[in-house]
């Protein structure tokens, strides 16, 4: 039946195909140029992206609220009692710290931001990619994403630390040296003492109740661990196999050393430092793998399958 149908089609008069109409210019082809129009400032897409940037800034400020409330002294820490013979809070007061707050913050933020700036500049220069951001400069866009994410993690980590300091109110190892309670009005034979008055400075007394957990340890571990994760994602040079692990090891040792100095300076108990290091590492892992985009691979665009009009059948012949 198929052979008869093919013979009938061959017997039909074949009419010549009409010659395709030509362009008045004389060429037989038409070229169409499609240009992507730039987004105008008043378009809804640009307004939406600006709103998302404002939302990012609002989230960063919201995450920093507990941190600043504790730093400016709006909320006082919980008032705990003590045992008169408790040697863990009877250490002397050392006025000079091994690593001060200013050194910790400046080194932790500046070193990490400098490394991110160099890494993102190299990455954008060698691996350019398209972006739909409102800012056309790809370097600014990359720094906004990575440095903004790092600062968000800083605020989250320090806010968690200060919430714990205020809620727990654990006494520092040099609490008695700062509080200087009047033992003539304290009945130490009663055991746990809750009714006492400190004769020292009220501001120093508040600071002496913020031992758990260590803010130095948590911030140092967060910044150094985040930088180690960043090097893992961006430092892709295969020339020296042990260079990147060595740098990451040094960063972790700096964080651990910072925590240990808080014990030797009588600012924190060993358990305070251990929890601070753990909290900093967990926040760094969460931000690096679940908030930042440095470990996310670019998705390849989906290519539709090629459709073949005349496909050969299973026997190798083209159907009529």
Q: How many CB atoms lie within 10 A of CB 297?
A: 6
In whole angstroms, give the CA distance from residue 173 to residue 235: 42
Nearest to residue 186, comparing CAs of 271, 86, 74?
86
In this predicted structure, what is the pLDDT of residue 26?
A: 53
In this predicted structure, what is the pLDDT of residue 310?
A: 45
Instruction: State whether residue 305 is helix, strand or coil.
Output: coil
The one catalytic residue in 123, 174, 268, 269 is: 268
Tell me which of 6-20, 85-99, 190-204, 248-262 is least confident.
6-20
pLDDT at 267 over 90: yes
In whole angstroms, give the CA distance from residue 92 to residue 175: 9
In this predicted structure, what is the pLDDT of residue 272?
A: 96
Residue with tokens 């920093």: 64
pLDDT bracket for residue 314 (50, 70, 90)? very low
pLDDT at 15 over 70: no
Tell me which of 5-19, 113-127, 171-185, 188-202 is least confident.
5-19
In whole angstroms, give the CA distance from residue 170 to residue 308: 75
In whole angstroms, give the CA distance from residue 141 to residue 133: 7
The one catalytic residue in 216, 269, 290, 302 is: 216
The mean pLDDT of 246-274, rounded to a whole number, is: 96
Tell me which of 140-149, 217-226, 247-256, 290-299 is least confident.
290-299
Phi-psi region of 51 (alpha: psi -120 to 50; beta: other; left: phi over 0): alpha
pLDDT at 191 over 90: no
In this predicted structure, what is the pLDDT of residue 16?
A: 55
In this predicted structure, what is the pLDDT of residue 183?
A: 86
First to last CA, the chain: 12
Tell me which of 23-37, 176-190, 201-215 is least confident.
23-37
The torsion angles phi and psi of 48, rounded to 5 degrees, stand at -65, -45
User: Is the N-terminal amide bond of 19 cis, ω within 30° of 0?
Assistant: no
The mean pLDDT of 151-170, rounded to a whole number, is: 94
Q: How many CB atoms lie within 10 A of CB 178?
A: 20
Which one-letter DSSP state was computed for residue 25? T
**Which of 35-49, 136-150, 157-171 holds the top average pLDDT?**
157-171
In this predicted structure, what is the pLDDT of residue 29?
A: 58
In this predicted structure, what is the pLDDT of residue 142?
A: 86
Question: Is residue 150 within 8 Å of residue 123, measured between CB atoms?
Answer: no
The mean pLDDT of 253-257, rounded to a whole number, is: 97
268 in catalytic set: yes
Percent of the chain with pLDDT over 70: 77
pLDDT bracket for residue 42 (50, 70, 90)? very low
In whole angstroms, give the CA distance from residue 48 to residue 144: 17
In whole angstroms, give the CA distance from residue 264 to residue 262: 6
Question: Is residue 97 within 8 Å of residue 215, measured between CB atoms?
Answer: no
pLDDT bracket for residue 32 (50, 70, 90)? low
User: Is the N-terminal amide bond of 213 cis, ω within 30° of 0?
Assistant: yes
In whole angstroms, give the CA distance from residue 175 to residue 192: 15
């Amino acid at each position: 039946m198929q052979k008869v149908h093919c013979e009938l089609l061959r017997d039909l008069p074949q009419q010549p195909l009409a010659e395709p109409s030509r362009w008045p210019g004389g060429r037989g082809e038409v070229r169409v140029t499609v240009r992507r129009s730039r987004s105008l400032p008043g378009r809804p897409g640009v307004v939406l992206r600006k709103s998302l940037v404002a939302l990012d800034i609002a989230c960063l400020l919201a995450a920093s609220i507990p941190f600043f409330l504790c730093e400016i002294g709006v909320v006082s820490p919980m008032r705990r009692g003590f045992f008169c013979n408790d040697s863990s809070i009877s250490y002397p007061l050392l006025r000079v710290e091994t690593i001060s707050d200013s050194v910790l913050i400046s080194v932790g933020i500046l070193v990490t931001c400098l490394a991110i700036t160099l890494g993102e500049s190299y990455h954008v220069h060698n691996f350019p990619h398209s972006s739909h951001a409102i800012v056309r400069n790809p370097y600014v866009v990359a720094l906004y994403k990575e440095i903004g994410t790092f600062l968000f993690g800083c605020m989250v980590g320090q806010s968690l630390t200060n919430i714990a300091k205020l809620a727990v109110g654990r006494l520092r190892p040099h609490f008695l040296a700062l509080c200087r309670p009047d033992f003539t009005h304290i009945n130490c034979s009663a055991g746990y003492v809750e009714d006492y008055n400190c004769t020292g400075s009220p501001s120093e007394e508040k600071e002496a109740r913020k031992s758990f957990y260590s803010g130095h340890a948590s911030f140092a571990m967060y910044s150094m661990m985040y930088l180690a994760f960043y090097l893992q994602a961006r430092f892709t040079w295969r020339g020296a196999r042990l260079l990147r692990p060595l740098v990451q090891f040094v960063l972790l040792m700096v964080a651990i050393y910072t925590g240990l100095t808080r014990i030797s300076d009588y600012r924190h108990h060993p358990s305070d430092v251990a929890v601070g290091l753990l909290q900093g590492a967990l926040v760094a892992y969460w931000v690096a793998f679940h908030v930042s985009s440095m470990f996310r691979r670019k998705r390849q665009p989906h290519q539709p399958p090629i459709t073949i009009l005349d496909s050969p059948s299973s026997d190798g012949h083209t159907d009529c």
